[in-house]
Amino acid sequence: MKITADEVRRIATLACLEFDAEGEARMAVEMSRILDYVDQVRGAAVGEAGAATASAEGRTRADEPAASLSVAEVARAAPRFERGHFVVPRVIGGE
């Protein structure tokens, strides 16, 4: 599928991006390649596993309220839980 420079500009506006003319041309080529690849994937033979997955599309469970876990149940399942909060290792700034 061929993406035009006008379509690139429209998508760039929606995504709050800015491209110069060269960037627009490059993005048109890249987006066209991506859409061509998606078309290829759609046309691929998927066998039994794909057929089973495809037939499951659209199935959803009812969105009904259910009881939440109690704080005690959550605390028992957590590796570290103190004063009502999960305790996790510091990621930034060391121990």
H, E, C per residue of the chain: CCCCHHHHHHHHHHCCCCCCHHHHHHHHHHHHHHHHHHHHHHHCCCHHHHHHHHHCCCCCCCCCCCCCCCHHHHHHHCCCEECCEECCCCCCCCC
Instruction: Return the domain boundaries, the chain.
Output: 5-48
- Name the CATH code of domain 5-48 (choices 1.10.10, 1.10.3470, 1.10.20, 1.10.8): 1.10.20
> Mean of the per-residue pLDDT values for the chain?
86
- 91 vs 44 pLDDT, higher one: 91
| pTM: predicted TM-score of the whole model, two decimal places | 0.47
Confidence band for 54, pLDDT divided at 50, 70 and 90:
low
